A and B are shown apart, each in its own frame.
Chain A
Amino acid sequence: MTTPALSQDRRAATVRPAARRRTSWLGSAILLLGAVYCLLPIAWVVAASTKNGSDLFTSFTFAPGTGFGENLGDLSANGGGIYWRWLLNTALYAGVGGLLSALVSGISGYTLATYRFAGRNAIFNVLLAGVLVPGVTLAIPQYLLLAKVGLTDTYWSVLLPQIISPYGIYLARIYAAAAVPDTVVEAARTDGAGEFRIFARVALPMMVPGLVTVFLFQFVAIWNNFLLPFIMLSTDDRFPVTVGLFTLLNQGATVPALYSQVIIGSLLSIVPLIALFLTLQRYWRTDLISGAVKG
């Protein structure tokens, strides 16, 4: 980055301190409008989840109803509590997938950042090009290939393809380059530590903040992924919550009573993710995502 040539205009060199203190109400108002826009559907789903089927279409949108418990009971009763199974499945796909993805990204990023070896750049560039491959268009050939080996409609079919994350490897490499000094690796090596031991005991702990970001990233990506499980799975026992609610919504077109279940189901599915977000907020290394991390 080059520092831009600064203003030619040196006439008004006096800074008015009073002006600095004043709140910019226009700017604040625009930000608040943005916040309202983003919170609107969430506020709505909170209100709507308390309404029973008839209130939903008759009472004022944001007025609370009295049907929360009833809706929750209906949702839990549907299909023998299959909704909770979906939620559990989602946690499994996203949790295990995110963890494995962070580990694979971590060791790959560390290797690409600290070792010099033949083919390093070629391997990195091929992996990096994977960032640009439209992930979703891969889902159909992935389905056909997994169908050949009889793995479709299993947990594996959703879990395995999402462990590899070119973007995660890219982030881990940047982070390793910035956070693991060559001198430390060198010192451990002189002490006689094996290469894997150096990675696991020395580099990995140093990379934890970066890997938390990779984990969260992949966790959200898997939680949000719809097409892959939608294609791969046909048994509703194995659905993640997104696919489950989608099928429920489709049935709702003929049985409007199901809409109340879809609404409370949507609310319950975003609550854990929002909670995770708020608690892990400070561990997010967002500078990593923006490429602004300092080496």
Chain B
Amino acid sequence: MSTPATGRRRKGTVPRGVPYLFLTPAILLFTLFLLLPIGYAVYLSFRRIKVSGLGLGKGSRTEIWAGFDNYARALGDPELLGSAGRVLAYGLVLLPVMLGLALLFALLLDAPRVRFGRFAKLAIFLPYAVPGVIASMLWGFLYLPAVSPFNDVADALGLPGPDPLNGGSVFFAIVNIAVWGGVGFNMIVLFTSLRAVPGEIYESAQLDGASDLQIALRIKIPLLLPSLIMTMVFSLIATLQVFTEPLTIRSLTNSISSSWTPLMKVYRDAFSQNDIYSAAASSVVIALVTLVLSFGFLRLVSRQAFGGENR
């Protein structure tokens, strides 16, 4: 580091433009691939096609201002509302089960008298490395009665085999795939936060005669709150966008409609029905609901989720 300072600037001062220069790639990409698409989606959501004459030939189809028509249609669309209700129910089942299991496993990994911790940690984290499409395929095959080991077991016991791909149970079949894929990652996040807690806290609790269970409930869980909030917010965002798993399972069953989740409906509107305007309105609504729910949740529980860094 012995190169002499170039130019007129004094040693130890920063030229004013440098931070902005360093941030240019991020700001450019952020603008191009986040802000611009958001703006474009909002713009499209207020447009529609006007067809004049028979709608044939050039110039007979023009794009015009539509006001809130697309939004009115989206919000009044029973299909979108139905899929929204389904995803809401999906989240209400998925989030407590997935995060509850993640918390349970994290606490067990951190408990002093539990064995097989290293093996279990690795095994439970492994599904994080499996893409949603692949996970859905693996479970999808395991759900097929002709392939499923659960049916082999049921046969051996003389019981009727489960058929998770048909009827209402397909809902739980999809929840299971999401739990499988998500529990390990959340477990690692929670476990790592637990490890960051200084040991003296537990020692003094032990001296006070607290059992492992009491330590877990009264000390560890409260200390985990900020991490729990963070995992909750990220899981919530992922939940509202569920798309890959039901779309993949759809190849194996007739129980999933093409508008099973809001995003599937948006996809169908935009690409199968070529109605990008109503697709844009629906995706703006989904994005708004996601933002309102995640911000609302953050507000509601605390401001600790992003720690002291956000100042």
> How many angstroms between the C-alpha atoms of A53 and B152 in the bound complex?
18
B104 and A20 within 8 A (CB): no
Of the candidate stretches A65-73, A77-85, A220-228, the one touching chain B is: A220-228
User: With a CB–CB cut-off of 8 A, which chain A residues contact B243?
Assistant: 136, 226-227
A11 sits at the interface (CB 8 A): yes
B12 and A190 within 8 A (CB): yes
> How many angstroms between the C-alpha atoms of A131 and B296 in the bound complex?
15
Q: Mark B111-154, 1 if CB is under 8 A from A, else 0.
A: 11111110110111111111111110111011000111100100
Given contacts A9-B209, A13-B207, contact A115 B19 (CB under 8 A): yes
- For the residues of B in contact with A, the DSSP-based class is helix
Smallest CB–CB gap between A63 and chain B, Å?
10
Q: Mark B275-289, 1 if CB is under 8 A from A, else 0.
A: 010011001001100
B159 sits at the interface (CB 8 A): no
Given contacts A4-B219, A117-B19, A294-B196, contact A270 B130 (CB under 8 A): yes
A6 and B137 within 8 A (CB): no
User: With a CB–CB cut-off of 8 A, which chain A residues contact B139?
Assistant: 41
A41 and B135 within 8 A (CB): yes
> How many angstroms between the C-alpha atoms of A136 and B11 in the bound complex?
47
A242 and B134 within 8 A (CB): yes
Smallest CB–CB gap between B17 and chain A, Å?
9
A249 and B3 within 8 A (CB): no
Q: Which residue of chain A has its CB nearest to the CB of B104?
A: A30
A128 and B310 within 8 A (CB): yes
> How many angstroms between the C-alpha atoms of A177 and B37 in the bound complex?
31
B294 and A132 within 8 A (CB): yes
- For the residues of A in contact with B, the DSSP-based class is helix
B120 and A286 within 8 A (CB): no
B71 sits at the interface (CB 8 A): no
A35 and B119 within 8 A (CB): yes
Smallest CB–CB gap between B108 and chain A, Å?
5
Residue from B18, B124, B131, B142 in contact with A35 in the complex, judged by beta carbons closer than 8 Å: B124
B208 sits at the interface (CB 8 A): yes
Q: Which residue of chain A has its CB nearest to the CB of B111?
A: A27
A127 and B26 within 8 A (CB): yes
B210 and A286 within 8 A (CB): no
A31 and B11 within 8 A (CB): no
> How many angstroms between the C-alpha atoms of A15 and B205 in the bound complex?
10
B149 and A44 within 8 A (CB): yes
Smallest CB–CB gap between B72 and chain A, Å?
20
User: With a CB–CB cut-off of 8 A, which chain B residues contact A170?
Assistant: 309
Smallest CB–CB gap between A162 and chain B, Å?
8
Q: Which residue of chain A has its CB nearest to the CB of B112?
A: A20
B141 and A263 within 8 A (CB): yes
User: With a CB–CB cut-off of 8 A, which chain B residues contact A183?
Assistant: none
> How many angstroms between the C-alpha atoms of A201 and B247 in the bound complex?
47
15 pairs across A/B with beta carbons < 8 Å? Answer: A4-B222, A27-B113, A35-B120, A110-B22, A111-B23, A137-B41, A137-B283, A137-B287, A140-B276, A141-B40, A142-B37, A160-B33, A266-B134, A276-B129, A289-B188
